[in-house]
Amino acid sequence: MTRGQALAGALSSLAIVAPLAGPVAPPLRPPAGPPRGGMLHVVMPWAAVPDNFNPLAPGGAGATAGGTGSVLYEPLMYDNVLTGDLTPMLATAYAWSNGGRTLTIDVRQGVRWSDGRPLSAADVAFTFNYLHEHPALDVQGDWRAPLQSVKAVNASTVVLQYSQPDTVVLPMVLGQLVVPQHIWAHVASPTTFTNPHPVGSGPFLLRSWDSNQVVYTRNPHYWQHDRPYLNGVTMSAVKSNDTAQLLVLDGQASYTYDAITDPVHTYVAAHPAWNRFWWPVTALNLLYMNTQTGPFADLTLRRALAMVVDDNLLSQRAYYGAIPGAGGLGLTGVVPSQQAEWVPGPLASLLPPKGPAAARRLLVSKGYRYVHGLLAAPGGKVLPTLGILVGAGWTDFVSIAQALSGELATIGVRSVIDQQPWASYYSSAQDGHFDLLVSWSNGNGPSPYYEYYYLLGSAGPAQPGAPENTDYERFSSPYVDSLLANFASTTDPVQQRADMAGVEKTVLEQWPFIALTGRPSFFDYSTRYFTGWPDAADPYNAGEPPGSFDGGAEQVYLNVHLS
């Protein structure tokens, strides 16, 4: 049974409350009594570490210090998108009742906040209601339209009441980080609060911060009393992927999230006894086109660009073929592992002809013209030089952008690569300050719904200049909104597949984005000093980045120990 089937089944027959629904992984995994101690050194191409430990920050992991959502604060459960397993964290069980309109969550007992105060169901209910009070914090969309109320009915039980069944809500609800009511009830401006003295439930405590490195030390009162095995974790910011790779190569760090160039020959071969990488494909790299302002507001230009993008070339340039391109039906934005189940074959008829000649014919047929070899808009001037926004030092994205720049040139469009440090890159993406953006898809889950929900802006895009958390291309379609809403309200698999097919068809007709390559988890590590890492044989997480907010990175810090 797949996770999607388990969730749908849980909703289809819930006249009575059942025990824990969905597959659940055991919370404690390594062998008993592994060696304790050691500081795990993590290095990331962040350029700088933000002085912000707010787990509810609107910018999520990108706006906060690494570790905020992976060592200080915890979710209710960790949802492994590779295996479909749920690992109980601050919640021990959930159950649906009332025909799928009532979700009851059992909150773990015996957990204490790092200041010694007990954690209870009141903290969980407060967190959800706090998001409702401050909608800018509700990045995951917990307060979707069907959710009516969240209440703690006793110290160990929280009840979420919905006006109608919502078959897709579990990953969002269970993945929510929880904050202490006795601290956050006094925070009047949570969107700007930097939380300088974080009080969390996680396995580590904040010891020190500077713009280059944040240091965490073991929480002696953590609720998993035999965890963590580590004494602490350091997370250092460097300027590029190459720098991160070198630090792991020479033993100064043991863990990074890095698209290493030609990893077999440049990384593993350097020290085959201990250098490892595990890159499970869980998402896609996308080219976001600003559909709200600028030349890509025109569908014709978006379609022409889709015609000249060569995903196989991008795969070779960025990943030496280690990661597949996203061509064919992958252009719908559906990840490879879900295409057979969710993308009907006849949609292939909507795929455009490929190549610069076909793209130029399309442009001319729609009124574009060429002036000295450069593309001019219908009735207008030559298109200005366009920027391709990427993260500074992200070698895979830089390579993709270089290839894209060459492909734009084949249809007479000039471009430059705009490398920005992480903070400004993320801000520019959210605020729509770009022409073209190379980035990743958001919202992995058991069906394409989750990526589409976050990607296509079911609430409609913000006004120009206003931030968008995930709908970077700022596309809006009432038709897509209706399909997503219908998918979430039914347990009928035939209807759900029809809804997804409608969204996929819209993507291939409107081109709000262009899928480029598969997006793996770039999980790179060394067994020189530490062991207990996840891999293909033991995928206890999905290879998430060290600072992820979904609970995946926390599983690493709880399981890794001295060799």
| Model pLDDT for residues 96-120, shown as the tens digit of each residue | 999 889 999 999 999 999 999 999 9
CA-nearest of 475, 539, 540, 547 to 511 is 475
Q: What is the pLDDT of residue 464?
A: 65
Rounded to whole angstroms, how far apart are CA atoms 92 and 77? 8
What number is the average pLDDT over the span 423-429? 91
Indicate the residue type of 231: N
Which of these ranges, 220-234, 461-475, 546-560, has the smallest mean pLDDT?
461-475
Q: pLDDT-derived band of residue 322, with 50, 70 and 90 as boundaries?
A: confident
CA angle centred on 180, ends 217 and 157, rounded to 5°: 120
> pLDDT value at position 2?
33
Could you tell me the pTM of the whole model?
0.76
Q: Confidence class of residue 465 from pLDDT cuts 50, 70 and 90?
A: low
Identify the band that residue 32 occupies on the pLDDT scale cut at 50, 70 and 90.
low
Q: Tell how strand 386-391 and strand 415-420 pair up.
A: parallel
Nearest alpha-carbon partner for 129 in 158, 103, 105: 158
Sequential DSSP letters for 10-52 = HHHT-SS--SS-S-B--S--SPSS-----EEEEEE--SS--S-
pLDDT tens digits, one per residue of 375-393: 999 989 999 999 999 999 8
Q: Is the pLDDT assigned to residue 18 strictly greater than 60?
A: no
How many whole angstroms separate alpha carbon 93 and alpha carbon 139? 24
What pLDDT shows up at residue 261? 81
CB neighbours of 327 closer than 8 A, spacing ≥ 6? 311, 312
519, 322 contact by CB (below 8 A): no
Q: What pLDDT shows up at residue 83?
A: 85
The length of the chain is 563
pLDDT at res. 443: 77
Question: What string of H, E and C letters represents the secondary structure of 404-448?
Answer: HHHHHHCCCCCEEEEEECHHHHHHHHHHCCCCEEEEECCCCCCCC
pLDDT at 140: 82
CA distance 378 to 211: 48
Angle separating helix axes 395-409 and 299-308, nearest 10 degrees: 110
Contacts of 21 by beta carbon, 8 Å cutoff, 6+ apart: 6, 7, 10, 94, 95, 96
Contacts of 203 by beta carbon, 8 Å cutoff, 6+ apart: 71, 218, 219, 222, 224, 227, 228, 554, 557, 558
The label of the residue with tokens 């001319």 reads 364
User: What mean pLDDT is predicted for residues 161-169?
Assistant: 89
Q: Is 30 a residue whose pLDDT tops 80?
A: no
* Residue showing tokens 């993320």: 426
Is residue 229 over pLDDT 80?
A: yes
| pLDDT-derived band at 65, boundaries 50, 70, 90 | very high
Signed CA dihedral, 289, 293, 294, 297: sign only: positive
pLDDT of residue 82: 85
Quick one: average pLDDT of 26-48? 79
User: What is d(CA 286, CA 103) in angstroms, rounded to the nearest whole number?
Assistant: 35
Give the DSSP H or E segment for 154: strand 147-154
Among 58-67, 230-239, 360-369, where is mean pLDDT lowest?
58-67
Higher model confidence: residue 172 or residue 145? 172
Average pLDDT over residues 183-191: 95
Residue 463 confidence class, pLDDT cut points 50, 70, 90: low
